[in-house]
């Protein structure tokens, strides 16, 4: 019977997020862990007269790993691609190329059944669109960014010529978004980031989740050079080192959460939308406007950010100053 409650969120996705029309082709890319979420989405799509295909793969081994080539090729030919998976495939060539072919993509990484019922999914995404776009536009028009927090973050970035990405869970042809996070983000120029990141909210990957104590990362010329902290910092350090790829330490993204319905719970797409948080993404940046492809993409979340662009404050804690 829980599926009846989950259908509420699935209908929101079909009607509000992807504006599904009868006769359109929907490809649902899932894995063997998330099939129940995929089933509910498929039911909602069939209910609206769509042609639905469900592709099930083995769970990826890590965030950022490409899906099988057969699935990646299919994604290019769908009107709508929905991706409920255990490990994120957001920052992959498969998603980038499907968007370039005109698909409307929505990513549901590590979704739980409850996330289709309550929390961030209950937000009025279209009402949040102008707020999200205003922050993204401010990024796009700016050059120098400084991020500070009461916890100790002090990071400067150059975003000259980089686009601002507005992810508000509503997609047009050629666009992708995550859900239920609402966020504006940008990818800094490679090699430009310097300072310190103090993550004190969440690192929703690798079983780390909500942070017990801060994870501190020193940044020089675009890369993390040192990570310190307690048990959770060691988990992050070990994983990054295991890939033996310097690009895993690349400063790939600055994002700010803008969904008033999201709550911090240790699940990536819920945590990243929380107000008042910001996150620094590390690793792959190709889907955000950067040029780096790494084996991973992780986000380090922090509370109460102040974000200045070209000397003007645009985010002050939970307040958008635009």
How confident is the model over 147-198, as pLDDT tens digits? 999 999 999 999 999 999 999 999 999 999 999 999 999 999 999 999 999 9
Region 80-105 average pLDDT = 95
Would you mind telling me the total number of residues written for the chain in this entry?
Answer: 322
pLDDT band for 117, please (50, 70, 90 cuts).
very high
Tell me what pLDDT residue 64 has: 85
Tell me what pLDDT residue 1 has: 73
Across all residues in the chain, what is the average pLDDT? Answer: 96
Q: How far apart are the first and last CA of the chain?
A: 44
Domain 2-118 architecture: 3-Layer(aba) Sandwich (3.40)
Region 303-313 average pLDDT = 98
Tell me what pLDDT residue 40 has: 97
Tell me what pLDDT residue 32 has: 95
- Residues 189-229 have pLDDT tens digits of 999 999 999 999 999 999 999 999 999 999 999 999 999 99
Question: Domain residue spans in the chain?
Answer: 2-118, 127-165+177-320
Nearest Cα neighbor of 90 from 26, 177, 208 is: 177
Tell me what pLDDT residue 91 has: 87
Share of the chain above pLDDT 70, in %: 100
Tell me what pLDDT residue 223 has: 98
- Residues 45-78 have pLDDT tens digits of 999 999 999 999 999 988 889 999 999 999 999 9
Share of the chain above pLDDT 90, in %: 96
Q: Which structure tokens are listed for 224?
A: 């993390």
CA 216, CA 235: separation in Å to the nearest integer?
13
Tell me what pLDDT residue 55 has: 98
Q: What order do you get walking across the sheet with 183-186 strand by strand?
A: 164-167, 183-186, 251-257, 277-283, 297-303, 202-203, 209-210
pLDDT band for 142, please (50, 70, 90 cuts).
very high
List, in order, residues 6 or more apart from 209 with CB less than 8 Å away. Answer: 202, 203, 265, 266, 267
Q: Does position 41 have pLDDT exceeding 80, yes or no?
A: yes
């Amino acid at each position: 019977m829980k599926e009846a409650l989950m259908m509420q969120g699935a209908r929101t996705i079909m009607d509000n997020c992807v504006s599904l029309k009868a006769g359109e082709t929907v490809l649902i890319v899932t894995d063997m862990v998330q099939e129940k979420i995929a089933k509910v989405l498929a039911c909602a799509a069939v209910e609206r007269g769509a042609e639905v295909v469900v592709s099930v793969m083995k769970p990826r081994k890590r965030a950022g790993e490409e899906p099988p080539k057969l699935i990646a090729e299919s994604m290019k030919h769908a009107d709508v691609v929905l991706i409920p998976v255990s490990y994120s495939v957001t920052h992959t060539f498969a998603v980038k190329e499907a968007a370039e072919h005109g698909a409307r993509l929505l990513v549901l990484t590590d979704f739980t059944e409850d996330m289709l019922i309550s929390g961030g999914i209950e937000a009025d995404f279209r009402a949040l669109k102008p707020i999200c776009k205003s922050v993204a536009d401010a990024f796009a028009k700016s050059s120098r960014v400084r991020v500070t927090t009461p916890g100790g973050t002090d990071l400067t970035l150059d975003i000259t010529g980089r686009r601002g990405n507005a992810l508000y869970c509503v997609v047009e042809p050629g666009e992708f978004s995550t859900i239920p996070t609402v966020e504006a983000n940008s990818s800094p120029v490679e090699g430009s980031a310097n300072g310190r990141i103090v993550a004190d909210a969440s690192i929703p990957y690798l079983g780390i989740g909500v942070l017990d104590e801060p994870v501190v990362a020193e940044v020089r010329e675009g890369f993390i050079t040192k990570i310190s902290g307690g048990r959770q910092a060691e988990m992050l350090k070990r994983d990054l080192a295991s890939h033996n790829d310097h690009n895993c330490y690349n400063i790939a993204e600055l994002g700010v959460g803008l969904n008033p319905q999201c709550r911090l719970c240790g699940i990536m797409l819920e945590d990243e939308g929380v107000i008042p948080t910001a996150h620094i993404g590390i690793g792959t940046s190709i889907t955000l406007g950067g040029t780096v492809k790494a084996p991973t993409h992780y986000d380090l979340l922090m509370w109460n950010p102040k974000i200045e662009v070209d000397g003007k404050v645009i985010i002050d804690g939970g307040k958008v100053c635009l």
